[in-house]
Chain A
Amino acid sequence: MADRVRVRGVTIHRPVIYGNIATVLTPAERETSHYPDHTHRWTVAVRSAPSVPDSDIVGGADDLGYFIKRVTFKLHDTYPNPTRNIDKPPFEVSETGWGEFEIQIRITYVAESGEKATTLYHHLKLHPWSITFPMPNASAVPVEPEIPSPENAAKLGPVHSWQYDEIVFTDPFQNFLNLLTAHPPTPLPKASVNKKPVPFHSSNPASLEASLKGGVPEFTSAMEKEEADRMEEAKGKIIKEQEKWRAILIEKEKDLERLQKLLASKE
């Protein structure tokens, strides 16, 4: 029973990625499929963040089965059996379709964790990212990205949409902690060994160009550093502004005092 004691003050996390890849179906494939109106083949997955070098999938260097019991992907209702349970790695679902929709992903952990399942959402991306990707609250009407024709889309290559995240366990049970420490995660590489492109993210518009170069993207710790640098830069600018405005404020307060004195002396 000592194992079922929570280890206080310890937070342990595991980096994961979730998202999808989508490719346009070739005309030949479309003829032979059961659903002639499906235009794309896509795979949604939950994997570990670092990629195996020389692999053609994003992430997946570590097997997450040691702490994830089951991943449930809830697809659109128009799919038969929309609730897809995946009980063993690789935790992914492959399908064909024509439309983008939100997929609910529910991750159930092994019993030792004593934790409830976590739910997250992923917007299935089929069409390529467009240059005019709208910023979150730029305008009231969302800009419709251009959807290229099938020939152009096939030329552009597969579309990737991945999000990095970390699953955080606080005060884990002792035996769960032991289980986790028995499987240390592979650290993210500093930079891509095979010069794979940076995955695109809406918060980092600069990555669009890199991602369009084609090839399977890879998550690296350089991306984290890049974001950190961006934030530090922004913070530096803000602090400079702040100092400037504070100086203005002090001047104005002096003026105010002076005027008040003047007024008091007149009355």
Chain B
Amino acid sequence: MAVSASDIRSALSLPSSSTLVHSITPAPRKSQGQVTKKPEGISRELYALIGPSAPSLVAHLAKPRLKQKPNFGSGGKVKWEWRPFRNAGRTDSLQLGHWVKAGDDPDAEYSFTKYNVQSQSYTYSQEEYIHKDWTKEETDNLFNVVREYDTRWYVVHDRYEPPPDGPARSLEDLKDRYYSVCRKLIRNRPWAGDEASKAQLLNSYQFDKDRERMRKDYIASLEDRTPEEIAEEEALFIELKRLEQNERKFKKERDELLRTLLGIDSGLPDIVAEEDGLSALSAEGFKKRKKNANEIDLPSTPSNIISLGPPPPKRPHSAKSVAYDAQHCIVRVEPPASSTTKITHTPVHLRSFKLPAPKAALLPKVTQTLTELGINHTRLVMPTRENCARLESLIEATTALIDTKKVVDRVEQDIRVLRIRLGRASEGAEEDGKEGTPMEVDGGPGAGADIDADADADADAEGEIDGRAQSILSIRSGRGRKQSRRSMSVSSIGTSASTRVGKRQKRS
């Protein structure tokens, strides 16, 4: 505690310092070495207690002086009134009330509405799902929990329950799974924006499980260090810095010495050019080194130490070379790594000869879709490299769309079949009388018709592209109806259904 000598004297009512031996007083005063000036705003003893640490000091100084009352600027009285309001972010039109300044615009939107952003969640269909360790249900479960708790990982980890016989999932496991799925989806789905934004989005979902675990371990161990360990680490760190400094000094001295001894033949790079020129110079230095290695003995040893190795092939990344390439219509592609195999030469061709074409199976549908959108994929107006690439991604996107529609149709049909089976199953369990059965027979295809009507109504609401989809649906539903009338054995249903069908046919 920094108690000054004068404090003690005044407490003990001792005489002032001038009557005592001087040698005593300067020593304690000097040994304190801290600010002995009386600080402002707070009492001296209080300052002595707190010490010169900044936060508490600032906080204390910032306190309003007790003698004056602060004036909050509005001078006049402000009227407050109680107003009910709605939060636009809520879907349930809950009406709450809060105090609002009378002058505020009554219809202004609740200012915190805009913070109700949902982070973008990714959903995916059965087809896009493949993994050995995580089953689909588990991943679904995980995604639901993540969406509900807004990717707040600690909460998610707490609320997440692994399936009864599944392994326990740590926080890193969950994060890893979630981010890897998101990354895969981004990579594989056709993307509306350009490549740069896609790469950016992809990056935002980086997650390396091992690194995370290691990082967390490190932080934990950092916290757990004892004071001795901390001191030891600091000492080591200082030591290391000192060693590095020494090493650098030593290297510089040695270079200086060599340069003075051997002049330009020392094979060392010049100090001056440090940027692009370095590799060129190092190439020169390497050549010179090669020459001199045979002649002089002395430089050969240092050159072994200093040798930078063969300069890597410098790719022309500079802006000038890019402009050069563009001007001459040159495009550089990475030459394939295996130069041992004989590369067959791609002969000269017109770019329109190599226009991307959709796969034969889907060709008519793709062509039809693209025609509706006004694109002819067999001939481009300006078949440049970029446009050809765009056409390719367009065809890819179209193919994906058609595939998705096909899967929807398939699932649709499965649903229809299941509904009919359910209808029959419930009817069989109840053992209805004769009157029941004709109704059920009608109910089956009738229910099927209802489902189709719904699907058609949905299809109607959509745009022109789905005119075609609608026709596909109605064709399929026709087939489905016929199936259910004939016999159920076509679809993958068990024998029980077909025997029931047999019974019904006998009766009617």
Instruction: Identify the A interface with B (CB < 8 A).
Output: 6, 8-15, 109, 113, 115-116, 118, 120, 135-138, 163-171, 180-181, 184-185, 187, 201-205, 207, 219, 223-224, 226-228, 230-242, 244-250, 252-253, 255-256, 259-260, 262-263, 266-267
Contacts and interface: CB of A to CB of B under 8 A. Distances in A.
Contacts of B447: none
12 contacts: A12-B330, A165-B351, A166-B385, A185-B329, A224-B381, A227-B382, A235-B190, A241-B463, A242-B397, A249-B411, A260-B418, A263-B421
A249 B400 CA distance: 13
Nearest to A233: B373
B131 interface: no
A11 B330 contact: yes
Contacts of B134: none
A231 B387 contact: yes
Interface in B390-449: 390-391, 393-394, 397-398, 400-401, 404-405, 407-408, 411-412, 414-415, 418-419, 421-422, 425-426, 429
A64 to B, nearest CB: 13
Contact of A228 (B332, B390, B419): B390
B347 interface: yes
A168 B348 contact: yes
B351 A13 contact: yes
B499 interface: no
B475 interface: no
Nearest to B334: A9
B334 to A, nearest CB: 6
Contact of A168 (B350, B387, B418): B350
B350 A256 contact: no
Given A166-B350, A252-B411, A224 B397 contact: no
A203 B387 contact: no
Nearest to B414: A256
A255 B351 contact: no
B382 A242 contact: no
Interface string B335-351: 10001000101111111
A117 B371 CA distance: 34
Contact of B332 (A10, A168, A236, A241): A10
Contacts of B385: 13, 166
Top 7 nearest A-B pairs by Cβ distance? A9-B335, A203-B376, A224-B382, A234-B373, A8-B335, A259-B418, A170-B346
B397 A203 contact: no
A237 B373 contact: yes
Given A170-B348, A239-B397, A252-B412, 18 more contacts: A9-B335, A11-B331, A11-B333, A115-B347, A118-B349, A167-B350, A168-B350, A224-B384, A230-B375, A234-B370, A238-B401, A242-B401, A246-B124, A246-B125, A248-B458, A250-B124, A259-B419, A266-B422
Contacts of B382: 164, 219, 223-224, 227
B192 interface: yes
Nearest to A259: B418
Contacts of A6: 345
A221 to B, nearest CB: 8
B192 A171 contact: no
Interface string B355-398: 00000000000010111011110111111111100110110011
Contacts of A138: 371
A227 B123 contact: no
A228 B386 contact: yes
B486 interface: no
B379 A12 contact: no
B350 A238 contact: no
B391 A253 contact: no
B230 to A, nearest CB: 53
A204 B465 CA distance: 20
Contacts of B462: 244
Interface in B455-477: 458, 462-463, 465
* Interface residue range, chain B: 35 or more
Contacts, number: 203
B425 A239 contact: no
B380 A203 contact: yes
Contacts of A228: 386-387, 390
A155 B77 CA distance: 85
B111 interface: no
B123 A9 contact: no
A204 B381 contact: yes
B151 interface: no
Contacts of A168: 348-351
Given A115-B348, A135-B371, A227-B387, A12 B329 contact: yes
Given A169-B348, A236-B192, A227 B331 contact: no
Contacts of B303: none
B204 interface: no
Given A12-B331, A235-B394, A166 B351 contact: yes
Interface in B2-16: none
A250 B404 CA distance: 11
B120 to A, nearest CB: 12
B188 interface: no
Interface string B302-335: 0000000000000000000000000111111111
Contact of A166 (B384, B404, B414): B384
Contacts of B419: 259
A184 B384 contact: no
B414 to A, nearest CB: 6
Given A135-B371, A169-B348, A245 B408 contact: yes
A252 B408 CA distance: 7
Given A245-B408, A263-B422, A180 B328 contact: yes
Nearest to B330: A12
B332 A9 contact: yes
Contact of A165 (B192, B383, B404, B458): B383
A259 to B, nearest CB: 4
Contacts of A167: 348-351
B300 interface: no
| Residue of B332, B393, B401, B425 with most chain A CB atoms under a 10 A cut-off | B401
A137 B372 CA distance: 12
A9 B333 contact: yes
B191 A239 contact: yes
B401 A224 contact: no
Contacts of A256: 411, 414-415, 418
Nearest to A164: B382
A121 B384 CA distance: 19
A266 B426 contact: yes
A241 B333 contact: no
B126 A253 contact: yes
Contacts of A259: 415, 418-419, 422
B190 A239 contact: yes
A174 B123 CA distance: 52
